[in-house]
Structure 1
Amino acid sequence: MEGQVVVVSNLHVKPGQSIEVKGCISARCTDFAITLGKDPENLLLHFNPRFDLPGVTNKIICNSRENNVWGEEQREHVFPFERGSHTEVSFKYEKWKINILLPSGSWFTFPVRLSAKVISYLSLKNLELKCLKIE
């Protein structure tokens, strides 16, 4: 369902741990997002694959947000996602970076720009959650 949001709070994910998200992408969505952070205003990672938004087609946009102010976008050109399919993305939280493993087996990193001892907040937009695993 387009616009669907799931929020999980009071997590306690420390550096060295991983978060694995499995879900189903809507057949009609223009994008979906997985965010990790302290709270909605302070995000270590906003992971936003975009199928078809003005000016952006089939790209992954990543960003951070501190005190509700967005940082500089990082754009990835690998795009292994399909509308109407199941997907799995893993995020390995390190002190200075987050390693992101895509369903294709490829991966990339995003820098940790905020001071955070733990990830306590996770939200999903336009992704029907099937499984959430923290290791």
Structure 2
Amino acid sequence: MACSRQLAPYFKPSLPFTGPIPGGLRDGFMVIISGTVLPACDRFQIDFQCGSCPYPQDDIIFHFNPRFEEGGYVVCNTFERQNWGREERNYAMPFFKSHPFEIRVLVKCDSFQVAVNGNPFVQYNHRIPFTRGNYISVSGGVDVAIISFQDNVSLGTWCPRAAGILQTYPVPYHTSIFGGLYPSRSLTITGTIPLHADRFHVNLKWGEHVAFHLNPRFSEKTIVRNSQLHQSWGPEERGLPGGMPLLPGQSFTIWILCEAHCFTVSVNGQHQFQYNHRVPNLQQIDRLEVEGDVTLTCVQV
């Protein structure tokens, strides 16, 4: 069992950023933006656009604009034929300066549905046809770690709390990675860590070999990385410049990006470390396993 199909993401884009949406907007399509609000942020914005031209500005189907003035609020709007429409303001500000965030925007036939940090936040009804949307733009006082896309998303995948469900996967969890790994391919693992957890691990394997072993250990407050080749473990890597990002009792999202020379790992939208490949043939890595003290709610391969 796995979540809906994941498309190639944008990793650590420089802002202001404008990039194409793979295949354009459609019903059941989800965009996930993870990052951190900068300490000096006044505002930032995410725009779903009908093109990439800044002047004259192409139509903006959905403008999502958190502002930290006047106690903080979020503006939603549409820009059509060189004019802004009526603002919709939400004063339940879900963003905090210097704090990480995850925004999930689900496209439905009648509206955009937005969840922030796992909680439903706003529904914005379409004012112009959403199928015209083919670009995303992000700007302002944030550091974006990743912009990712998913197709054929259910309400429970968008926000389990909104659907009144929390799907869980059996652990130990094993699944195939069809086509193996290659540069630009990524995997995402979402779940919750039990309060009394000791450790769990994520393994990327082929046969009996472990190309990448990611092993959070809570008593040691670190994430051990290693490889097991020909039944022998190599040297461990343990350094975490920003400290342990995973805590018992909390939910998490681990994103593993396969690059040409290494795996890049982010936790909750924050870059953590790189792990240089110790095997030459990435495409032979065809299995993912997760075992230990963890509850899984979504796995994307």
Please state which band the TM-score falls in when normalised by the shorter chain.
Answer: 0.7 to 0.9
Is residue 2:145 matched to residue 1:133?
no
Q: Which runs of 4+ in 1 moved over 4 A?
A: none
* Residues 100, 109 of structure 1: 8 Å contact kept: yes
Aligned partner of 1:58 among 72, 84, 90: 72
* Residues 13, 134 of structure 1: 8 Å contact kept: no
Name the structure 1 match of 2:171.
Answer: none
Is residue 2:49 matched to residue 1:32?
no
Percent identical: 19
Name the structure 2 match of 1:105.
Answer: 119
Measure the CA separation in 2 of the matches of 1:104 and 1:27. 22
Instruction: Name the structure where strand makes up a greater proportion of residues.
Output: 1
* Residues 80, 104 of structure 1: 8 Å contact kept: no
* Residues 58, 79 of structure 1: 8 Å contact kept: yes
* Residues 27, 108 of structure 2: 8 Å contact kept: yes
Structure 1, residues 55-85: CA drift from partner, whole Å, max 9, x if none? x431011100112211100001211111112
The amino acid across from 2:124 in the alignment is: F
The amino acid across from 1:31 in the alignment is: R
* Residues 14, 118 of structure 1: 8 Å contact kept: no
Is residue 2:64 matched to residue 1:47?
yes
Aligned partner of 1:83 among 97, 121, 132: 97
* Residues 64, 70 of structure 1: 8 Å contact kept: yes
Measure the CA separation in 2 of the matches of 1:71 and 1:129. 27
Measure the CA separation in 1 of the matches of 2:59 and 2:38. 27
Count of residues in correspondence between the two structures:
129
Measure the CA separation in 2 of the matches of 1:118 and 1:68. 16
Measure the CA separation in 2 of the matches of 1:13 and 1:106. 20
Greater RCO between the two (CA within 8 Å, min separation 6)?
Answer: 1
Aligned partner of 1:5 among 7, 16, 19: 16
Is residue 2:30 matched to residue 1:18?
yes
* Residues 48, 62 of structure 2: 8 Å contact kept: yes
Measure the CA separation in 2 of the matches of 1:88 and 1:118. 25
Is residue 2:110 matched to residue 1:93?
no
The amino acid across from 1:106 in the alignment is: P
Structure 1, residues 17-56: CA drift from partner, whole Å, max 9, x if none? 111111121110101111112124211111001002xxx4
Structure 1, residues 90-125: CA drift from partner, whole Å, max 9, x if none? 111112210011126132200110123253111111
Residue 10 of structure 1, CA deviation? 5.0
Name the structure 1 match of 2:83.
Answer: 69
TM-score, normalised with respect to structure 2: 0.41
CA-based RMSD of the aligned residues comes to 1.6
Measure the CA separation in 2 of the matches of 1:91 and 1:30. 22
Measure the CA separation in 2 of the matches of 1:47 and 1:10. 16
* Residues 37, 98 of structure 2: 8 Å contact kept: yes
